[in-house]
Structure 1
């Protein structure tokens, strides 16, 4: 676990004041009373007892060990009315909930280093040997640290396809043709020259597969390297190519079979509430890249609405001090009507998709459309501000979570994804080694978020044209034609904040993007106040949009990127430290104010002043207290203070709990 859990005193009796306590242990029995000295065997049984109890407070404590689930643990609002449930590890004991099946195998040696065993498992696409994930047979072979851990332009070449006897059930994985995320396909068969396949719906900006960044897997003929495996579910055989030092007769083999481990669910008018999950490790769920995906309005995202811990239509729930690792899909998903929930102190790493998703129902958005190229004519547009219904998250906190090495399977992912939501506070999280954004807000609906004190680096590693913090604002006023949009917002300025009702604050974060911008407000993102941030590499981009204030930020190795600003956009850029001249694209206006900034060179200042900006800005030599150790405090003698810049605290970024 990332944080040290609070110790729990042993319970000497099953009942307390209005409270029922159950213990679960591998040494238990489901006919027992569930006390500390007479525990239950299965967590499902403890939940059944809790539902039936007359007490309001239910505590389920799980003793040390690994618990294999063949179905998720479900907390249904209709069965838990007026109850509070806490599900946690007991007294800091290590507890793992697994979505895998433990296999019984008898190995027989085959040719070319491959071993074979009969197995009862007929499905599964994640295999673990000794607790470590192995590689599903693939081409090209696994190469850690590269896009998709190895890609090849000839992955579907006729000469290679010809070698495959029966590739049905294999997978094709590829980046979007413009590196905007990914697409996945299942192979359905083959003809004389090529495979037949279906899929590609995982990205909401359709394209062809990338002509270079692609690979295939789950094809028997590609089982040719140590650590690779293949399951023939129909025949009931598992094939494995062991590492040279592996004694497979002594190893534990597990195969992931289910995508979800805990589901806390209500309906719109009967919400789940007051469920706390604490101190548990969630692991070994199946991959979900070919599951049902839904488009999230005009953002680039389509998403699988599910996760290892899935919470839908719920209030006052908490996921805290847990670990999520070895997952095939998302870790945590807060879905539809969510109010006052907290995700805090978790350690999320080595997972297939996104870490934390907070996503409402698109039916809550008025005049919503679902493709980039779509729009609603003004005369047909619903012009009432704000949401249409209550099916969206609000007033939630995501705090002190350590997130890294996510998106191992899918690439249109985020450390924290927010969409169709309001007033989400994302603070003191550390996020790194991600293929796309650390934090993404997919639309302006309905604003009011606070993104603060986060530390995000090594982001956008496998894609491009994105940000460590990224947002879209393709809200009601937005149109795919910049010219048509310009005319519409000039005639109807009241449209611009119909969805982005409340200001979103991005403050006191440290961001670094590897293939894009540190802060990327794309395609109409509006109503933002951005201040006190340290941007280490990619600068700040503002494309289209309205009412953005950018002040008192430090932009190292970069600058402001104003793209396609409108007349009367209302943008204010002031009291920032820039190290390069601005890089504008097709501006109709320089906003309400671009002035009182500091530049690290005279040439940069002269260049921006040619556009009649920065009349009161200054330039000078830029010194920091300790640049080598990322202390970007300016000394008292810095000329940057002449334009009103104030030092940014350097010691509050990221998680605050010990790992």
Structure 2
């Protein structure tokens, strides 16, 4: 612990303890004659619970209330007298404790008194243990497990190091260090390594420390260490510091628990007297739980004027550790299955399936985890006017962060939504004291919540976090408001967060009227991170922030009318804007900004809750850098190295450092006189520019200059700065031309930029960073840089102009085919029941199973309701493999209420006997209404409906998950299909093997897949063929296909290479079983002419079915190449010849 740190902590807690319950000062409500009373000091649970003879425990009062709720005609009050309710177990509330008939059960402080619900144990009997080091000890009295200790309410610090491990290295087993003395320390398995990995603060437990090759080898406990090292860019490397060893007990205010002897050790701070001090250690992990069920939620319970304090959370001490991924959300990866799961940390107060729960004017402090969790479809709860201070974890957490289950991130059932919460007029201070990636308020996929008029300060990471999932999935995160909050001194320790931080897909989010001040680290004070969408942020005031506005890759966001003292901003979004920004560099805010500042934060009715805390520190307004006017640029007799911009590249400014181009001079020296940089609208910053000798990495002498974009000389769309003297570049040599770019300042072009240059040198590729790393192929420059050189050409060089924006028209979809209603049958004969709805986004439909005879599906259909106007994408999937079988877009085309409309398929699809399928329709929140109800099918021998099915509109296949809903009747949406029973023996079992219209049904692994229509590239001059570019090992197109065991199939495909020659083969990957792989036409020679791979195939392996993923591989599997394929067919053998003779089948796996 740093010296002097305890002083600040002591002041905070002393002030906090002095915050007496003035909260009830204005309370005028008289005590009800029929109320219950509880007194932890004078009460007895054998008493009747009256004011004169109160109960002693809250549990007794709760049980007494249960018998009164059924006939409630008014609120029931349970008054808690002042004193400490020292809990030995969690106080649990269930649905039977709920208020009834619209009334509430209210647990509240007796007027003028301050009851405390505490999960602690007092440690007494301290005696001097080591006089030289002033260390005291005391017996725990019994087995005690805790991670915190408090002295007179002031949090002590677990004994820890001043820094990390010297000469540290890490591997899959643990760490190593030159600090060999650690191998001799006691109780090594209780030690903990603490890491600081960008926006995370993971922790891992030590198993043992031994000496090996002159170093201390630290074996870490599993599976926690595996999880810590499986978090991508925030995986644990080497520790920030380490803690929980007696040998580290060297600073005042530090403590240690020896679990082998059940003894506490403490080194007191100056002025502390352990003979009189109250030393408390939390033992309970949860103080209060409120757990309902979906059919019977817990509801209408309120808590007012109560202190919730002293809880712990023991899991970080276990072999699981703390693998936080962001906002103190835990991400664990199973080392055996590889499955990744995410979860919120627990809280001292947990609400599951809770409705209309109220916490008002309470204090949550000295807690070892989060304060309040709400999950499981909790709705319409209010957290109003509370104080949250000195928490190890987050303040309020809403949701379950389960990206594997649409029931959590986009539930179809409205009862499973986290919705309608109000979090207002609360005071948050020193949150995340122990787990520093914690935030004040976290909500994953909420709906209709309001976060307003809170004050949030002194945060190690973000303030408010809304959303989860990085845009991977569609979510229920919509119609939420963040307004009029005062958020200051955030991001004090970690990076890549924001005072208001948004993440993942959302709809109709409003951020307005907030005053944000003093954000220390990057990125944006208002930070719309990856996948954020449909957010409007307007009329906010931001000062003393590294970057006021930061929009990462996202979509449809609007940031308007921001008042700020910094010009920095980043906009990497699609269809996203930052506009109307009012720049006020001196903090002399105009009236509009002053009104926002005055209205932000806790409202007057609740300002009495604000405790006195130390000043968060003076904020010093940075002064603009001094600039020295550069010499005028001499354009006469000079030429530009860059002649034109062929491709401008993607704009960016979210990264800072040296960026530029690698260039190679021709056969003559070049006298360079000036540097240039593209001057895009709004450019204003200062840029150092230089030339670097690529061979040595050294700056070219005399080439380092500063370009001031605000007043630089321009020629076309480039601005220039004159060198003090001409710099000569040697002939036939490689150099780097570099510009220093800063996060949030002037935008520049990414490495896909392509320029043409004069013959004096050649632009090779973009380079970046202090190590001058080369960018990926695709362009020949970063930023947009140029230099002028002496050429003797009369006049000035031709101006470099930015190319006109290129607009591409979307390819028109083919006209729909006429629907054959005369020669086909409809599967669904009638629909009954159900209610129209439109408040959800995703795929909804039915699961059905084909009977004993296969059918030919010809069209997909949807029932339209009155006022429907949207075109709907209908998909048919194999229920076993989840493979897409076919899809079609159904248009309303003037449909009346109750009418079905169909889309004819471009080619019929065979549905197999006994196999189950999903038929789903893409529905949009707020769009066409659709129904859920009972559906009856046509003929039992054709097939049957198994029930409704739905899935979120997932954006990545890895989270695709279709769920049945037995409560919804026969099916969702009202869908149908047309079919015939006539069998077509030549049916291709592959979907869309001819690519006449698109690449539907195919995916690519480690490759790109597209459709080409140029006749020279298509097979047999057809309308289209598939093009594959292999980008990684074993790159291939693939499609899942349903095959029958012991049946012979004829397989064929036509292939040609773009260049060269190689060998090709068809692979059937059965996923499991022996053999797993089958090979068809193995090592068939292919070149730049169309060649056919063809062969019979029969699966006789160990699986029950022959279902597989069919792949096409060219070469060894590691070859990077481009090729074309077409007319990919799989047909039952003997059902008609393929285009070409068929060779006999090899044995599977041959």
TM-score class, shorter-chain normalisation, is: 0.7 to 0.9
- Residue 67 (structure 1) aligned with residue 90 (structure 2): no
CA RMSD across the alignment:
3.0
Once the two structures are overlaid, the 10-residue window that deviates more, 40-49 or 275-284, is 40-49
3-state SS of paired residue (2:275): helix
* Alpha carbons of structure 1 residues 257 and 205: separation in structure 2 relative to 1, 3 Å: farther
Q: Quick one: distance in 1 between partners of 2:296 and 2:65? A: 19
SS at match of 2:285: coil
- CA drift at 1:575: 2.3
Secondary structure of the structure 2 residue equivalent to 1:332:
strand
Could you say what secondary structure the match of 2:599 adopts?
coil
Name the SS of the counterpart of 1:417 in structure 2: strand
- Specify the SS of the correspondent of 1:514: strand
Alignment of 1:511 onto 2:536: no
User: Aligned pair 1:196/2:205, yes or no?
Assistant: no
Take 1:308 and 1:208, find their aligned partners in 2: how far apart are those partners? 28
User: What does residue 560 of structure 2 align with?
Assistant: 551
Query: Where does residue 95 of structure 2 map in the other structure?
Result: 77
Is residue 419–residue 445 contact of structure 1 (8 Å, CA) maintained in 2? no
The yes-or-no answer on 1:420 pairing with 2:445 is: yes
* Residue 39 of structure 2 is aligned to residue 24 of structure 1: yes
Find the residue that maps to 1:339 and give its secondary structure. coil
Instruction: Map 1:132-211 onto structure 2 (within 5 A).
Output: 132-140=154-162, 157=177, 158-176=179-197, 179-192=198-211, 193-198=216-221, 199=224, 201=227, 205=232, 207-211=234-238
Which residue in 2 is equivalent to 1:49?
64
Instruction: Note the C-alpha offset of 1:363.
Output: 6.8
Q: Does the aligned pair in 2 maintain the 1:314–1:338 contact within 8 Å?
A: yes
**What residue in structure 1 maps to residue 374 of structure 2?**
334
2:462 and 2:497 in contact (8 A); partners too: yes
Give distance in 2, aligned partners of 1:293 and 1:49.
41
SS of residue matched to 2:63? helix
Aligned twin of 1:407:
432
1:506–1:530: 8 Å Cα contact kept in structure 2?
Answer: yes
Q: Residues 317 and 386 of structure 1: is their aligned pair in 2 closer, same or farther, counting only changes over 3 Å? A: closer
Partner of 2:249: 223
Give the 3-state SS of the residue equivalent to 1:161 in structure 2. Answer: helix
Distance 1:31 1:651 in 2: 53
Q: How does 1:624-639 map to 2 (within 5 A)?
A: 627=587, 631-633=589-591
Displacement of 1:356: 1.0
Structure 1 residue 105 corresponds to structure 2 residue 105: no
1:632–1:437 distance in 2 versus 1, CA, 3 Å: farther
Tell me the SS of whatever aligns to 2:247.
helix
Paired residue for 1:520, among 520, 527, 530?
527
Compared CA separation, residues 245 and 358, structure 1 to 2 (3 A): same
Is 2:258 aligned against 1:264?
Answer: no
**Structure 1 residue 407: Cα displacement:** 0.6
Matched residue SS, 2:65: helix
Report the number of matched residues.
539
Aligned to 2:136: 115
SS in 1 for 2:23: coil
TM-score (normalised: structure 2): 0.44
Alpha-carbon shift at residue 532 of structure 1 (Å): 0.5
Check conservation: 2:204, 2:322, Cα contact below 8 A.
no
In the aligned structure 1, how far is the partner of 2:271 from the partner of 2:113?
32
1:323–1:347 contact (8 Å) kept in structure 2: yes
Q: Cα–Cα, structure 1 residues 169 and 298, in superposed 2: closer, same or farther, change >3 Å? A: closer
2:600 equivalent to 1:653 = yes
Q: 1:4 aligns with which of 14, 23, 29?
A: 23
**Which of these two proteins has the greater Rg computed from alpha carbons?**
2
Conserved 8 A contact 1:127-1:134: yes
C-alpha distance in 2 between matches for 1:365 and 1:293: 25
Please list, as runs of the form range in 1=range in 2, the aligned pairs for 1:424-435 lying within 5 A after superposition: 424-435=449-460
Deviations 1:341-366 (A, max 9, x none): 10110111111111111114637963
Kindly state the Cα deviation for residue 247 of structure 1 after the two structures are TM-superposed. Answer: 2.4
1:171-210 deviation digits (Å, cap 9, x = unpaired): 211112xx12111112222222222223254795564435
Q: Which deviates the most, 327-336 or 354-363?
A: 354-363
**CA spacing shift, 1:248–1:258, aligned 2, 3 Å:** same
For the residues of structure 2 that align with 1:411 and 1:520, how far apart are their CA atoms?
19
Task: Calculate the TM-score normalised by the size of structure 1.
Answer: 0.75
Indicate if the aligned counterparts of 1:365 and 1:387 stay in contact, CA closer than 8 A: no
Of 245, 254, 264, 1:238 maps to: 264
Superposed counterparts of 1:455-466, under 5 Å: 455-466=486-497
How far residue 294 of structure 1 moved from its aligned partner, in angstroms, is 11
Contact 1:24 1:46 in 2 (8 A): no
Q: Tell me, in whole angstroms, the C-alpha distance in 2 between the residues paired with 1:251 and 1:263.
A: 31
Instruction: Tell me: CA distance 1:467–1:3, structure 2 relative to 1, closer, same or farther (3 Å).
Output: farther
Aligned counterpart for 1:448 among listed residues 464, 474, 479: 479
Asked if structure 2 preserves the Cα contact closer than 8 Å seen for 1:161 and 1:194, the reply is no
Are 1:92 and 2:99 counterparts?
A: no
Task: Tell me the SS of whatever aligns to 2:188.
Answer: coil
Structure 1 gaps, min length 5:
141-149, 370-384, 476-499, 579-621, 635-645
Q: Indicate the residue corresponding to 2:536 in structure 1.
A: 529
Separation in 2 of the partners of 1:321 and 1:363?
34
- 1:464, CA displacement in angstroms? 0.8
**SS at structure 2 position matched to 1:66:** strand
1:58 equivalent in alignment to 2:76: yes
Q: Matched residues in 2 for 1:542 and 1:313: separation?
A: 34
Structure 1 CA distance for aligned equivalents of residues 417 and 595 of structure 2: 34
Distance of 1:91 and 1:72 partners within structure 2: 25
- Greater Cα offset, 69-78 or 186-195: 186-195
* Deviation sequence 1:464-512 (CA, Å, 0-9, x none): 1221111111x5xxxxxxxxxxxxxxxxxxxxxxxx3x30000111123
* Dislocated runs of 4+, deviation >6 Å: 291-300
Alpha carbons of structure 1 residues 281 and 153: separation in structure 2 relative to 1, 3 Å: farther
SS in 2 for 1:651: helix
Relative CO higher for 1 or 2, CA cutoff 8 Å, sep ≥ 6?
A: 1
User: How far 1:151 sits from its partner (Å)?
Assistant: 5.7
Cα displacement string for residues 511-541 of structure 1 (whole angstroms, at most 9, x for unaligned residues): 2321121111011200101110112122211
CA distance in structure 2 between the aligned counterparts of 1:108 and 1:301, rounded to whole angstroms = 41
- Partner of 1:109, secondary structure, is strand
Residue 23 of structure 1 contacts residue 39 of structure 1 at CA under 8 Å; is this kept in 2?
yes
Say if 1:9 and 1:91, in contact at 8 Å, map to a contact too.
no
Contiguous gaps of at least 5 residues in structure 2: 1-18, 169-175, 331-342, 469-474, 611-1150
1:108/1:116 contact within 8 Å kept: yes
Separation in 1, partners of 2:420, 2:277: 46
